[in-house]
Amino acid sequence: MRYKLTIAYDGAAYCGWQRQPDPVPTVQRTIELAAGAIVSHPVTVAGSSRTDTGVHARGQVAVMETTCDLEPQRLRMAINSRLPADISIRQLEPCSAEFDVSRATCKRYRYLIWNQRDRPVFQRHYVYHYWHPLQIEPMRQACRQFLGGHDFMAFSSRTEDRLSTVRHIYHCDIGQRGPIMIFSVEGSGFLYHMVRNMVGTVVEVGRGHWPSDCIPRILQSKDRSQAGPCAPAQGLCLQWIRF
């Protein structure tokens, strides 16, 4: 049987999604061990997004193959019973051999900024505490300039081994709810640290260091040093993936 898994996790205790040599804690390895204990054979869980250390997810998607013939809901509950409290399989459903997790058509990320001088004691693992005042309207103007298809090489934090660094952004905006600024972006795909570098750049606009029309210039430069700093991991959450 082949299954599609929709997974939520708090990434604070993990060195990202992707499996690493034992004993490095990763989300993928943790799920594989739990699932393997239930189905009584080694399991590989292949994810659609390789989230970084400290990054969270509400809708990571993965596939798993097993010879176990448990009813899907019972299998989901059994695996969850073996998982720690910071990981949960939200949905487990049969899928065909043709379903490919690397073929996502759209992904949505959300990034939270706590823009207040006082520390966010209870939200500290889920927000970026940036206490300098930020002006949201210039930040929104900057966000709109990411829309469309662009070469995002300037917003990637390492040399990419992919054939193309062009990505299409379908939605990008920032709003505010009390002290929390909510940056949201949807796109065809994202490069390594791309969203966090976009946030870091938009923050530079919000604090008045850069003009709101700086994004096209940075994109055209294809130079990482021209973009803003990489925002911390804990503010980032993978919301959903569509195929």
Contacts of 164 (CB under 8 A, 6+ apart): none
Q: Which two tokens stand for residue 66?
A: 């097993």
Instruction: Tell me how far CA of residue 157 lies from CA of 55, 56, 68, 177, in angstroms.
Output: 16, 19, 41, 30
| Phi, psi angle pair for 109, to nearest 5° | -115, 150
State the virtual CA torsion across 131, 137, 141, 144 in degrees, nearest 10: 80
Q: Is 52 in the active site?
A: yes
Catalytic residue among 22, 52, 86, 223: 52
Q: Taking CA 44 as the corner, what is the angle to CA 40 and CA 49, rounded to the nearest 5 degrees?
A: 145
**Contact yes or no for 165/151 (Cβ under 8 A):** yes
Q: Are 234 and 54 in contact (CB under 8 A)?
A: yes
- Counts for the chain of helices (H) and strands (E), in that order: 5, 10
C-alpha 149/C-alpha 63 separation (Å) is 29
Determine the Cα–Cα distance for residues 185 and 188; give it in Å rounded to an integer: 10
Active site residue ranges: 52
